[in-house]
Amino acid sequence: MDTDQLIKTLAADNGHRPRRVSFVLALALLAAAPVSILMFMAELGVRPDVMTAMHNPFFDLKFAVTLALAAAAITISLHLSRPEASLGGFVWLLAVPAGLLVAGISGEMMMPQRLPMMTRLVGSNSRVCMTAVPLLSLPLLAASLIGLRHGAPTRPALAGALAGLLSAGLAATLYAAHCPDDSPLFVATWYSIATALVTAIGALLGSKVLRF
Amino acid sequence: MREREDEWTGLMRLAISGDSAAYHRLLKAITPVLRAAARRGLARAGQSVDQSEDIVQDILLAVHLKRHTWDANAPFAPWLFAIARNKLIDALRRRGKRIFVNIDDFAETLADQPAPETASPTEVAAQLQGLPARQRDVLQSIAVESASIKDTAAKFAMSEGAVRVALHRGLASLTAKLREP
């Protein structure tokens, strides 16, 4: 097939309308979410005192942080699915979840505390957090990578890292409903370590599967 | 330069809205530019420029299959060149590696077997043979025999919809095969 023939063939296929990357990503995430939710319900479940916990602003802050992280990562990864896109100012979206955490930590510092700082930081179940968040994020990570494969990221490792951040943010949102530790210090430490792990896995996988 | 790129953007907008003739014109217009870029890239990397057509076809396939990532409000050229650059780097990397890996195998055979003078068929043409029969038949009918979708459907007793599906799948699997090491 010479190039003229190829061009003719491509033009003949112009009727085919590919879906937008955002649509495919949303579809993939919607398909994977029940898997993560089932894993969560089967192994962890919502913490028993959730009704009272909801009145604690630091419990609610966890969801604000993790959802802000997921939303920022979704926006940036969709931006990066365009080949000519550079990270640019988009990276500052990640300052939103980080800023929320910092605000939370400062807020907590100013309040009278029953527990010493180290106790709040170490928490009571950091090991569960470190295991659960990466495991819950795996189905979501796979979905994110499938969705982003539909795009054309010219920096596949970076796009993969954002898929990792995105899935860790969503997985941490689930996990936060189980986690008995509400201190922003705990979140900043252990959630971040778990998220960093998933981000690294995403970057590694992305560098392989997101090439086009 | 500026005018040419504005024209491309206009043609691509028409193409996205369903104008296949504009799409054909656009692909024709960008091909010489892509070819020159591919030749330059190969020459700079110290590789034979006769592989440039493989790279051009690889870029055209990527442009086609990823065209939904182009934002119709943005100029077309930066998007095109980002795809082209990505494909060129990829091709140079792959070819560089292949030559490096196989240098010992080639050392003996090269001495007594001179490389063929005639241009070899492109990778796309070679991979076409490995496609499922239906996709291959449809692609060949449209590409080589210049048949329309309608004529192709009549020839193989398929519906036009089935021809369209086989055509698109064929192009997607061709691209996937080109990516295999």
- A16: nearest CB among B28, B61, B164: B164
- Strand, coil or helix: what is B165? helix
For chain B, the structural domain boundaries read 2-111, 123-179
- Residue B68 Cα, gap to closest chain A Cα (Å): 6
pLDDT value of residue B104? 45
pLDDT over 90 percentage in chain B = 57
pLDDT (mean) for B29-45:
91
pLDDT value of residue B94? 80
Helices (H), chain B: 2-16, 20-44, 52-65, 76-112, 123-128, 133-143, 149-155, 160-179
Is pLDDT above 80 for B1? no
Q: Give the CATH architecture of domain B2-111.
A: Orthogonal Bundle (1.10)
- Residue B117 Cα, gap to closest chain A Cα (Å): 18
- Residue B181 Cα, gap to closest chain A Cα (Å): 13
Which residues of chain B lie closer than 8 angstroms to A11, CB-CB?
20-21, 23-24, 27
Q: For testing the chain A interface, which of B8, B33, B66 should be mutated: the one with the most A CBs within 10 Å?
A: B66
pLDDT (mean) for B87-94:
88
User: Comparing C-alpha atoms, which of A141, A163, A177 is closest to residue A62?
Assistant: A177
pLDDT value of residue B97? 53
Q: How far apart (Å, rounded) are the C-alpha atoms in residues B128 and B147?
A: 17
Tens digits of residue pLDDT in A18-44: 899 999 999 999 999 999 999 999 999
pLDDT (mean) for A118-133:
87
Q: Give the range among A149-158, A161-170, B50-59 with minimum mean pLDDT.
A: B50-59
Residue range B123-179 in CATH 3.40.50.300: no
The question of ipTM being above 0.85 is answered as yes
Q: Is A151 on the interface with B (CB under 8 A)?
A: yes
Is pLDDT above 50 for A76? yes
